[in-house]
Amino acid sequence: MIRKAKTYCRGGKIYIDARLECGRKRFSSGLEWNDENLFKIKNEMEHFIYKALRGDIVLPKVCEYNFGSLGAQFLEKCNKNLKASTLEAYRSQIKNLQAFFKKDVRLISMRDFERFFEQ
């Protein structure tokens, strides 16, 4: 998922510029830069998308904040040539997730989600 990443310090904050398979994303973090923290950041990203799909985060906020770049990589897992609007993409992704796990998306555990993300 993360191909290349670099970090720099500006105004006392560490910024991580990560090149993802779907494009670039900049994260600001209080973490020191090392492999362990890169793993934590990857987990946070996955957890954010997971919470969005579960409905724990309000959809409009997810649309503008997440599906633009980070979520695109996840959405592309099920729909390679995504030409739908974000809301349609979100709905189609829910259907794909439910089909993959053969259960309601609200019953999908974090471990299930990670398995889906790893495939």
* Verdict on whether the full-model pTM lies above 0.75: no
For 50-103, the pLDDT digits (tens) are 665 555 544 333 333 333 344 445 545 544 443 444 556 556 666 666 666 665
The mean of the pLDDT values for the chain is 52
Domain count along the chain:
1
Residue range of the domain that includes 47: 2-118
Distance of alpha carbon 86 from its chain centroid, rounded? Answer: 14
Q: Average pLDDT for residues 27-45, to the nearest whole number?
A: 53
Q: Average pLDDT for residues 6-17, to the nearest whole number?
A: 48
User: In sequence order, what are the residues at sequence separation of 6 or more whose Cβ sits closer than 8 angstroms to the Cβ of residue 62?
Assistant: 52, 71, 90
Tally of CB atoms within 10 A around 71: 23
